[in-house]
Structure 1
Amino acid sequence: MKKYLQISALCLVVLAAGIFSSCKDDESGSSSPLIGMSVQLAAADSTVSTRINIDHANRLVTVSLSQEARDLSHVLCTFDLVNGASLYTPSVTNPVEMDLSDVTGVNILTGDNIVCYKIVAEVDSPIKEVKASYGGVEAVTSLDKKSRLINVYFGSDPVDFTQVQVEFVISAISSMVDPTSTNLTMDLSADTTYVKVQNDLVGTATYKMICWNDPSDNNLAIKRSADVEVTDNGGGSYTLNTTGTAPTVSTSMFPVSAGSVVSFSYKATKAIGRPRLSLDVNNKKLQMLGYEMNQADDWTEYAVDLGGVYFDMGSELAPGYPLTLSLGSESGVTIEIKDIQVREKNYEEQMFADNAYYFKFEDGKTGNNLKVNDVTTDEQFLTYKFTPSGTSDPYVSAKSREKAVTINDNQIYFEYKSESPFELQLFWQAVADSWSGRAGYMLPVSDVWVAVHMDWTDQVKSIFTTNPTAGDAGAPFRFDLEDLKDHSGGMIANVPIYVRNLRIGQKSYE
């Protein structure tokens, strides 16, 4: 079967021969000889609906598909032509089997003229493109056709979100429902605006539309809350009084390019445990449990690196997100919070991360009732799966240390996911008389990554007092998992525990 470019070349040959002039009408033929077209897809695509649109002005036939087709290489096409017209290529027969997996075309002989139509088969998107501007400033817009999310981002330019000029480019088989126009001024000041489009294939399609710009002074504003009374103190400071058992606050949106460290300062009348940091409360890939927020009478710095969350999402990341913070499970707690940001690591934070010692394990190594597998996909996020084969003292040794660690390297950091609660224990030189100490508390089951920080200043000091050479290079750490239990409290085995970025170093920003 000849492709459209080949067919176009044929038209040029015919033109050179003086038979016809560039798909131009004459007295002996029709300028629009194609009345209609129908297609019969392969059996594998019996659930795919189609609509045909013929644009005579541009000589374009669009075969709109309701979903991705498995096989477009063998499509039976029937062309309805004006009286006296006939297919010239790809075949003189009608119907004809065609390959619509790529741009193709058909030439129709009408009188002494040949008219060329390009044929394109594509999944129809009710809205194909969105443009937005304010005061002559063009927004950066993106359209996620799968999730039907329209993102409108104005950067740092000041914008009156109630007066945004919007243009919708819709497909040929679509029509606007709400709003009714494709080009209008819209009020996009709400957190979410919904747009409805009627489509011949899918019926009414609803799109979620968000419009935003950069945070003022780099600080995020608290926009929404549940089970929390929020008092805006000005200058990026808020007082939060929890009124229910699931207190949460959500901020204005921030651009992904702003960085991955969530940071703020807080005071709290009671400890609230680990806040859940969510960029999307419906997507666990975009959630993480942070370090614990303790009772604090004075301003306390808090920061968690969401770099791993960004990495897990990869190309699926949207241009921007709001930040949602869960704040424990108790009412009657007063929390003061200020300077909420999502930012890049500063110099000190990056230095501490770079200078830490990162544990490395041999892929497939088996210790005592514990096997480790290296599941790292990026060297910035060393990730291991630990699978206990029994519950009696499961442990495995790491690779020998490549560099020495010192008495000042007394802070443990890592992230984990696990279907079993466990307690971490580290042996400094993989011998029982030189162990660094247990975590002191159980780490609970979690299906999202949990950020863990353990201050082992006293344990490490004791080790170096007893053995000044304990941190020399060449010796391995031993990694122990203690008190593995199932959901009913019984001992459990063969449930994997995932750990990444396990490191020991000086106290960092966390």
Structure 2
Amino acid sequence: MKKYLKLSALCLLFSAVAMVFGSCKDDDPGVADPLLGLSIDVGELAEGVVPPRVEVDQANKLITVTLSQPLDLTNAKVKFDLVDGASLYSPYVTNPVMMDLSTENGVVISTGDNLVFYKIVSFVDWALTDFKATTNGVEGAVTINQSQSLIAIYFPDPNIDLKNVNVEMTLSESTTPVDPASTTAVMDLTADTTYIKLNNQFVGEMFYKVVCWYNLSGGEVLNIGASDVNIVKGDDGVYTLTTTGSEPMFWTQNFQVGYPGHMLAFEYRSTADVKGNKVSLDLSDKEVTLGCYDLESTTEWKRYAIDLTTIIRNADQAVPGYSANFVFGETEPGTEIEIRNVQVRERTASELKRRKEGARIFFPAADGGAHNVTCSIESDDDDEEYITYCFTVTNLGDPYYHSSGKSNNSTIEHTQVYYDYKCNQKFHFQLFFREVGGWEANLPTVQATDIWVAVHVDWTDAVEKKFNQFPDAGNHQMRLDIDDLAATGSVYLRDLRMERPDNEEVPQ
């Protein structure tokens, strides 16, 4: 009996001790805020890129990762700074850890007997989140390209006042306006490019570029600018340009790019021939620059039109507005050039008709009868008008290549030859209407160029001579010879065609 009481008393003692210790453990909740902070390593950042900023909201157990611009956070190295005694519990046990922070994520921290969950979110703190532009009661269509810090504004009506545009900006909480000094302002957007200056607490001083353009298709350019020339606009709409510098040019206001085709067109008179001209959407970018036709000295008004489609197709479509810069080539200071009716427009009905009825020449990727030259098709475009051929001359001994056909048979009326080329040395083409019998005709020697150059040749005499001798000359495939190269190399060619002449009269 006594032994049983002793054992019972011992059991009660152990139970009491266990209850005391168990009570102590249940009373150890750890700390309420076990996370002191964290750092994120996303690898080496490009120059000027600000590292991610991290904020911890202890009350809501929320970790916010703020970026100044998009960064790859799919495999970020994260180091958690924890209070003494705390540790990562789930889903990680090591510290630092690799985490995907590109989507909402989280971490569980063990502290005492408790587990504390923190949610992690990330976002890009764009300084400017919305932009409105209104003038004459017309609101422009606005596109914001955050990666390029670009605001593009499109107005469908050209008859509006761009000197007094009402703008309204929506900025992030960490951003304040600098110039203009308010989020609402009246701005002059007539310049090709305007800049808005902001101050962001995260990245500091920053700029957004503003590009504004009209729908000019079929309409006259209302304003042109010029450089290295004296420019005077007469009451009759004629601009008189007198060259003064080394690279005289004029430019249009910005316009919207698109298909099918944009023509830069104007009428002109000139006191001298102007050769080696070019037109560019961006003078620093060779891919959107095209060498174009000469201006001939004339006292009568002449029509001039250059197709911008090929360079527009190379343009970065993230920038929807462009200005066409027309650079005069070989000109002496004091040359006087008059221009009027400057347009950026679609092709006219007569231009479309001439192209459709023209004889466009195509080439196969392999020609069993070729001599000392191979051909590759460089274009991945399904549009046959813009197939790019690369002819590689393997030997200078009479290199030639046969065409595969034409869009239409040519006639004695197809006297105008057009093509674009690019080559690192000068050369000239010969075209054989029919190989047997020597029905060849020469095209003029062209100079070396690293930009595409558009060529127009009035071939009236040569064509009439061939068709008078051989009435069926235009019914055959053709042979292209590449002559007078100084060394073997490549010649790029596109849009080789023969058209009827433009017989529309220009009012004098």
Instruction: Name the TM tier (shorter chain).
Output: 0.7 to 0.9
Counterparts of 1:455 and 1:227, CA distance in 2: 31
Cα pair 2:218 2:346 within 8 Å, conserved: no
Partner of 1:461: 464
Counterparts of 1:337 and 1:225, CA distance in 2: 12
Counterparts of 1:169 and 1:216, CA distance in 2: 34
- Unmatched segments (≥5 aa) in structure 2: 1-28
Q: 1:377 aligned to 2:371? A: no
Partner of 2:239: 238
Partner of 2:399: 394
Q: What is the TM-score with the length of structure 1 in the denominator?
A: 0.79
CA distance 1:174–1:45, change in 2 (3 Å): same
SS of the residue corresponding to residue 295 of structure 2 reads coil
SS of the residue corresponding to residue 250 of structure 1 reads strand
Q: 1:405 aligned to 2:410? A: yes
Partner of 1:420: 425
Cα pair 2:69 2:147 within 8 Å, conserved: no
The amino acid that maps onto 1:39 is: S
Q: Which deviates more from structure 2 when the two are superposed, residues 326-335 or residues 103-112?
A: 103-112
Give how far 1:176 is off.
4.0
Counterparts of 1:309 and 1:147, CA distance in 2: 21
The amino acid that maps onto 1:394 is: P
Instruction: Give the 5 Å matches for 1:28-67.
Output: 37-41=37-41, 43=43, 49-54=50-55, 61-65=63-67
Give how far 1:162 is off.
3.1
Give how far 1:120 is off.
2.1
Give how far 1:163 is off.
4.5
Cα pair 1:291 1:453 within 8 Å, conserved: yes
Cα pair 1:425 1:479 within 8 Å, conserved: yes
SS of the residue corresponding to residue 76 of structure 1 reads strand
Give how far 1:154 is off.
2.9
1:439-478 per-residue CA deviation (whole Å, 9 max, x = no partner) reads: 1x32111222111111222212211222222222xx3211
Give how far 1:189 is off.
4.3
The amino acid that maps onto 1:438 is: N
Partner of 1:249: 250
1:66-113 per-residue CA deviation (whole Å, 9 max, x = no partner) reads: 6665562343252779x9999886558876542123343457899999
Cα pair 1:79 1:95 within 8 Å, conserved: no
Cα pair 2:40 2:52 within 8 Å, conserved: no
Specify which of 445, 448, 463 is matched with residue 448 of structure 2.
445
Q: What is the TM-score with the length of structure 2 in the denominator?
A: 0.79
The amino acid that maps onto 2:160 is: P
SS of the residue corresponding to residue 363 of structure 2 reads coil
Partner of 1:358: 360
Give how far 1:181 is off.
3.9
Give how far 1:481 is off.
1.3
Cα pair 2:279 2:291 within 8 Å, conserved: yes
1:453-508 per-residue CA deviation (whole Å, 9 max, x = no partner) reads: 11222212211222222222xx3211111112xxxxxx2212x2111111123225
Counterparts of 2:60 and 2:278, CA distance in 1: 54
CA distance 1:203–1:482, change in 2 (3 Å): farther
Counterparts of 2:434 and 2:462, CA distance in 1: 14
Instruction: Give the 5 Å matches for 1:81-96.
Output: 90=91, 96=97
Q: Which deviates more from structure 2 when the two are superposed, residues 40-49 or residues 145-154?
A: 40-49
1:116-165 per-residue CA deviation (whole Å, 9 max, x = no partner) reads: 7451255x654444333346643222233344332223331734533422
CA distance 1:217–1:242, change in 2 (3 Å): same
Name the % identity.
Answer: 31
SS of the residue corresponding to residue 296 of structure 2 reads coil
Give how far 1:365 is off.
3.9
CA distance 1:43–1:304, change in 2 (3 Å): closer
Counterparts of 2:407 and 2:262, CA distance in 1: 29
Counterparts of 1:159 and 1:29, CA distance in 2: 67
Q: 1:492 aligned to 2:487? A: yes
Give how far 1:37 is off.
4.5
Cα pair 1:45 1:70 within 8 Å, conserved: no
Cα pair 1:408 1:506 within 8 Å, conserved: yes
CA distance 1:402–1:102, change in 2 (3 Å): same
The amino acid that maps onto 1:419 is: N
Cα pair 2:65 2:120 within 8 Å, conserved: no
Rg larger in structure? 2
Counterparts of 2:104 and 2:403, CA distance in 1: 56
The amino acid that maps onto 1:343 is: R
Specify which of 271, 285, 298 is matched with residue 273 of structure 2.
271
Partner of 1:283: 285
Instruction: Give the 5 Å matches for 1:26-175.
Output: 37-41=37-41, 43=43, 49-54=50-55, 61-65=63-67, 69=71, 72-78=74-80, 90=91, 96-105=97-106, 117=119, 119-120=121-122, 122=124, 125-134=126-135, 137-156=138-157, 158-159=160-161, 161-170=163-172, 174-175=175-176
Q: 1:296 aligned to 2:301? A: no
Cα pair 1:41 1:72 within 8 Å, conserved: no
Counterparts of 1:284 and 1:300, CA distance in 2: 28
CA distance 1:335–1:29, change in 2 (3 Å): farther
Counterparts of 1:467 and 1:44, CA distance in 2: 71
Cα pair 1:220 1:253 within 8 Å, conserved: no
CA distance 1:185–1:222, change in 2 (3 Å): closer
Specify which of 475, 487, 502 is matched with residue 496 of structure 2.
502
CA distance 1:362–1:198, change in 2 (3 Å): same
Counterparts of 1:71 and 1:205, CA distance in 2: 24
SS of the residue corresponding to residue 438 of structure 2 reads helix
The amino acid that maps onto 2:488 is: A
Counterparts of 1:466 and 1:104, CA distance in 2: 82
RMSD value over aligned CA atoms?
A: 3.8
The amino acid that maps onto 2:390 is: K
Counterparts of 2:223 and 2:376, CA distance in 1: 42
Cα pair 2:275 2:294 within 8 Å, conserved: yes
CA distance 1:256–1:443, change in 2 (3 Å): same
Give how far 1:115 is off.
7.4
Q: Which deviates more from structure 2 when the two are superposed, residues 293-302 or residues 139-148?
A: 139-148
SS of the residue corresponding to residue 430 of structure 1 reads coil
Cα pair 1:236 1:340 within 8 Å, conserved: no
CA distance 1:250–1:61, change in 2 (3 Å): farther
Partner of 1:433: 438
Q: Which deviates more from structure 2 when the two are superposed, residues 141-150 or residues 53-62?
A: 53-62
Give how far 1:264 is off.
0.7
Partner of 2:7: none
Partner of 1:323: 324
The amino acid that maps onto 2:416 is: Q
